[in-house]
């Protein structure tokens, strides 16, 4: 993720989001149009109020009250309908935007292989995809929809105030800069406080996730006490910043209330009363002015409330923008026809490691060839699998798949061409069928059954209580190690890719399960390009090509 130098201007953020998700532009226009109609109803409603005072009470035409009230009720009903339509359209619009943003973020986080210094922690990733995207919605609505419309209505109400009484309007305007300056200052403090809190919250949540993921190790090494101390320390730091931020919010609310009730409203009533006594204005004019003034002050108060909120969410929005705008060189999205593989002088070192995992590696694999990568642990076998799958992409040299340079291919193009079965394949805590459908969401029951049959796991599934619909627990806890690998192979088979990569998938299996998995690989090798990283003889013996690796170099 690239770090942006300096802070983004708010208009920049709007342009970036609108350009990025231009497909939703028409929905935004409809949302704004409905909001303008709702605000216009508010303005029309004031005319009924003015008519009630000026044409009914002052002139004593009380027979017109029914017409005025009927008009107000009609406006209320229309406003209710418009409000319903607005909320429905707005929620649809923002859900679509948030879905698009989250999809972009997840893709970026999947593609990011950690070869840069600003690798994100799990807690930070979760916060960006979840909390920060929610902040984008509130920021976008407040800054680019509501704030502009509130400014528009404030100008409209100010116009009617001036038209009603120039003297009273001038007194209001003279005191407004005080409110603006104090609000702007508190908004800056809120923005800085939100940034600090967000940073500490990310650290806390990442530590919490790590503790949950590694609770067995924490318990077995008897370090619960120390772990809890660290947890409390992070919570304490985070809570102190939170309490400070809450105090700033409270002081900001106090300043706004003081400005509204003391500095402005009391002066207006005092001056209005004085003008009434000296007969510069009459009671009806004062009441009408107070009505416009209340609406005007409500708009000013709304703006004063929105500005600190916008400032507080801006840091979250900038993090999201940094990621969705972090476009590396454009990648090719192509349908790779051939399945041959070639490495040309490939060298690679893991981040923060001075040791070369691969050192000038060159070899080739023909289409539909069964190739075994062998060597001791740490020799570089798994690194080759990671480079082929696109997990690691910051390497020197060239890797070609079907004649295409892998560094020029999109991750989607690579994924469509190959499947990967790792030593520790991951499964979700849902049914067997749902775990398989992750590989191919539109797979039929016949396709799922056929994949499981080829992976020799149908009998195991049929013995389970709910068969394919059996919930397999956290990371397939109800299955043995060999059964997990067979299910992982079934998932790879279901994807039906031309190339299948296997990374030490039999290393933790007993001989019986090892042979079962080996036989499955032999069968797949008849119609697929197979690359298998292993040191097991039972798999190596039937390979058509053997590549021996030691210390990151090809030996034979």
Mean pLDDT, consecutive 10-residue stretches, the chain (556 aa), reads: 50 70 73 83 76 75 80 86 86 80 73 49 69 78 79 84 83 68 60 72 72 62 66 79 76 67 68 79 77 78 74 76 64 81 87 81 87 84 84 82 85 82 80 85 86 86 87 80 84 86 78 81 85 82 85 83
Interatomic CA distance for residues 401 and 409, integer angstroms: 10
CA nearest neighbour of 32 among 18, 44, 19, 20: 18
Q: What is the CA radius of gyration of the chain?
A: 33
- Asked if 435 and 489 touch (Cβ cutoff 8 Å), the reply is no
Question: What is the structure's pLDDT at 1?
Answer: 41
- Asked if 218 and 211 touch (Cβ cutoff 8 Å), the reply is yes
Residue 504, token pair as written in the block: 């030490």
Residue 427, token pair as written in the block: 């499964």
Question: What is the structure's pLDDT at 213?
Answer: 66
Residue 512, token pair as written in the block: 């019986």
Q: Which pTM does this prediction carry? A: 0.60
Within a 10 A sphere around the Cβ of 484, how many other Cβ atoms? Answer: 24
Residue 329, token pair as written in the block: 């060189």
SS3 265: helix
Ordered DSSP codes for 166-187: HHHHHHHHHHHHHHHHHHHHHH
- Asked if 3 and 322 touch (Cβ cutoff 8 Å), the reply is yes
The CA-to-CA distance between both ends of the chain, in Å, stands at 39
Give kind and range of the element (H or E) at residue 214.
none
β-strands 370-374, 529-533: how paired?
parallel
Under the phi-then-psi rule, with left for phi > 0, alpha for psi from -120 to 50, and beta for the rest, what region is 220? alpha
CA nearest neighbour of 132 among 211, 208, 212, 201: 201
Question: What is the structure's pLDDT at 184?
Answer: 59
CA nearest neighbour of 420 among 390, 381, 442, 455: 390
- Kindly list the strands in the beta sheet with 529-533, ordered across the sheet, starting from the edge strand earlier in the chain: 418-421, 499-503, 529-533, 370-374, 545-550, 553-554
Question: What is the structure's pLDDT at 178?
Answer: 63
| DSSP letter assigned to residue 109 | H
Give kind and range of the element (H or E) at residue 12.
helix 10-20
- Asked if 500 and 529 touch (Cβ cutoff 8 Å), the reply is yes
Within a 10 A sphere around the Cβ of 116, how many other Cβ atoms? Answer: 13
């Amino acid at each position: 993720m690239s770090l942006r130098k300096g802070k983004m201007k708010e208009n920049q953020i709007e342009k970036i989001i609108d350009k990025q998700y231009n497909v939703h532009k028409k929905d935004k226009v409809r949302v704004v149009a409905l909001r303008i109609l709702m605000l216009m109803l508010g303005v029309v409603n004031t005319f009924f109020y003015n008519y009630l005072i000026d044409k009914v009470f002052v002139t004593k035409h009380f027979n017109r009250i029914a017409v005025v009230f009927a008009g107000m009720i009609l406006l209320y009903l229309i406003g209710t309908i418009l409000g319903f339509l607005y909320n429905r359209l707005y929620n649809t619009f923002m859900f679509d935007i948030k879905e698009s943003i989250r999809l972009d973020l997840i893709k970026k986080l999947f593609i990011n292989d950690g070869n840069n210094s600003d690798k994100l922690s799990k807690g930070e990733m979760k916060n960006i995809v979840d909390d920060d995207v929610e902040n984008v919605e509130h920021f976008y609505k407040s800054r680019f929809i509501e704030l502009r419309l509130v400014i528009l209505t404030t100008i409209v109400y100010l116009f009617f105030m001036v038209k009603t009484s120039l003297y009273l309007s001038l007194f209001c305007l003279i005191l407004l800069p005080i409110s603006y300056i104090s609000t702007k200052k508190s908004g800056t403090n809120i923005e800085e406080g939100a940034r600090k809190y967000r940073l500490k919250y990310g650290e806390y949540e990442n530590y919490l996730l790590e503790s949950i993921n590694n609770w067995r190790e924490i318990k077995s090494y008897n370090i619960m006490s120390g772990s809890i101390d660290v947890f409390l320390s992070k919570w304490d730091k985070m809570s102190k910043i939170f309490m400070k931020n809450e105090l700033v919010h409270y002081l900001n609310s106090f300043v706004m209330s003081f400005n509204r009730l003391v500095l402005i409203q009391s002066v207006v009533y005092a001056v209005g009363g004085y003008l009434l006594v000296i007969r510069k204005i009459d009671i009806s004019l004062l009441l009408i002015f107070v009505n416009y003034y209340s609406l005007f002050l409500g708009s000013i108060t709304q703006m004063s409330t929105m500005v600190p909120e916008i400032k507080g969410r801006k840091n979250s929005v900038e993090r999201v923008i940094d990621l969705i705008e972090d476009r590396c060189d454009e990648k090719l999205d192509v349908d790779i026809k051939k399945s041959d593989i070639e490495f040309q002088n490939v060298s690679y070192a893991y981040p923060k490691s001075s040791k070369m995992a691969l050192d000038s590696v060159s070899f080739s694999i023909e289409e539909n060839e069964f190739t075994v990568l062998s060597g001791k642990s740490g020799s570089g076998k798994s690194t080759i699998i990671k480079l082929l799958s696109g997990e690691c992409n910051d390497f020197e040299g060239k890797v070609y798949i079907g004649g295409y340079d892998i560094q020029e291919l999109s991750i989607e193009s690579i994924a469509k061409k190959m499947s990967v079965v790792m030593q520790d394949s991951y499964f979700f805590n849902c049914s067997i069928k749902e775990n398989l459908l992750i590989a191919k969401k539109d797979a039929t029951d016949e396709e799922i059954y056929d994949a499981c049959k080829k992976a020799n796991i149908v009998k195991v599934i049929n013995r389970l209580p709910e068969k394919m619909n059996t919930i397999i627990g956290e990371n397939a806890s109800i299955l043995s190690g060999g059964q997990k690998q067979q299910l992982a192979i079934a998932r790879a088979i279901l994807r039906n890719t031309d190339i299948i990569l296997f990374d030490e998938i039999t290393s933790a299996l007993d001989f019986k399960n090892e042979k079962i998995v080996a036989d499955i690989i032999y069968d797949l090798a008849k119609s697929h390009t197979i690359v298998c990283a292993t040191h097991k003889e039972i798999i190596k013996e039937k390979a058509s090509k053997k590549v021996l690796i030691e210390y990151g170099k090809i030996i034979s």
